[in-house]
Structures are given as C-alpha cells and as structure tokens.
C-alpha cells in the first residue's frame, strides 16, 4: 500500500469559492511542491534531499500501469512544509494513496486527478462551476468525494461531457484517497 505526500497551496479562485460555502479544498489541485527546480528562499540542499528521497511507485488503473515519482518520506515533506519558502504561503500537507488501497476510516475523502498533484476533477468540474447545489451534492466538508461510489457517479456524468468535448480527457487520471496531515 503506497502512500505519498504533497505540500500544496490552493489557487485563489478555489480558496474564495470554497470559503464562501464554509469549506476548504484539500485535494490534488493547486500549486504543489516540490514540483521542479525551486531556488528562491528554499535551501538547495533541502530540495536535493527531497529529490533524492523520491520513490517511483506503481499505480494500476483501468488496465494501465503508471509509474510516478513521489515523495514518500513524511519527515522530509513536513520539513519542507515548515521551510521558510513555504511558510509564506497557505500550504497544507496531504497524504495520498491509490483509492482502492485505502481504508475508509483513514482518509478525509477521495479525489480524481493527477496523482502527483496539480489537476483535479473536483477543482475544475465542481468547485470552478461555483454551484452550491453541486458542491453540497458531491463534496464533503474537505471538498472531497465522501465515497468511491459518489466519485464514480460524478465521473459517469462527466463521460458525456468528455465525448462532447466539454471536458478534458480523463484517461490519464486516477482515483486517490486523501488525508490532510497539516
């Protein structure tokens, strides 16, 4: 059971829409770190430690096998969250794992998107629509799907939108379970 960690910040539009409904989005979408070469205030040595500690995990979904390079060291992810580069932001630390490997009691909910962060169906197809009715119908207090079944129901609705070209192709994304740690 692979678990990995993302330090991320929501985009301002996502923050303002979810705050309007008394929620905060804890899913895959937004800016995530470390996601590339980041100099700035973050000490290069710490960045190199995180990069060296990244691990390739294997995710099998819909008959495909994906290999993703992720941070699996919670201690390093926490240190990065507490670094001066990130402290200036409204960052959170989330634990992510393939949805079908997770025990429901151990997660805040489910998302569907890029497993290494940056894209989420919830963010682009639910939150961005800014509809209280849809948000209340599909999302829990963490702005995540409360169950895999609810996620599947929403994705089946999106299939028609994909065929009409009204929604991004979903084949490269996977269902994940998420727990906010900090």
Count structural domains, the chain: 1
- Mean pLDDT in consecutive groups of 10 residues from the start of the chain, 182 residues: 86 91 92 57 62 76 75 86 76 91 84 88 90 92 94 89 80 89 94
CB of 9 closer than 8 Å to CB of 157: no
How many helices and strands in the chain, by DSSP H and E? 7, 7
Note the pLDDT of residue 37. 45
pLDDT at 39: 43
How many whole angstroms separate alpha carbon 122 and alpha carbon 1?
Answer: 24
Q: 65 is in which domain, residue-wise?
A: 4-180
Q: What predicted TM-score, i.e. pTM, was given to this entire model?
A: 0.86
pLDDT at 141 (0 to 100): 94
């Amino acid at each position: 059971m692979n678990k990995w960690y993302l330090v991320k910040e929501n985009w301002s539009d996502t923050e303002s829409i979810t705050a309007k409904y008394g929620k905060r989005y804890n899913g895959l979408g937004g800016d995530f770190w470390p996601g590339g070469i980041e100099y700035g205030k973050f000490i290069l040595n710490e960045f190199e430690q995180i990069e060296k500690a990244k691990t390739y995990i294997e995710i099998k979904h819909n008959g495909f096998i994906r290999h993703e390079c992720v941070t699996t060291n919670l201690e390093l992810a926490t240190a990065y969250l507490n670094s001066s580069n990130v402290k200036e932001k409204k960052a959170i630390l989330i634990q992510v794992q393939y949805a079908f490997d997770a025990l429901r009691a151990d997660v805040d909910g489910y998302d569907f998107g890029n497993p290494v962060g940056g894209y989420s169906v919830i963010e682009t197809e639910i939150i961005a629509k800014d509809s209280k009715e849809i948000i209340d119908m599909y999302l829990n207090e963490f702005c995540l799907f409360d169950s895999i079944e609810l996620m599947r129901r929403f994705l089946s609705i999106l299939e028609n939108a994909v065929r009409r070209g009204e929604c991004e192709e979903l084949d490269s994304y996977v269902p994940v379970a998420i727990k906010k740690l900090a």
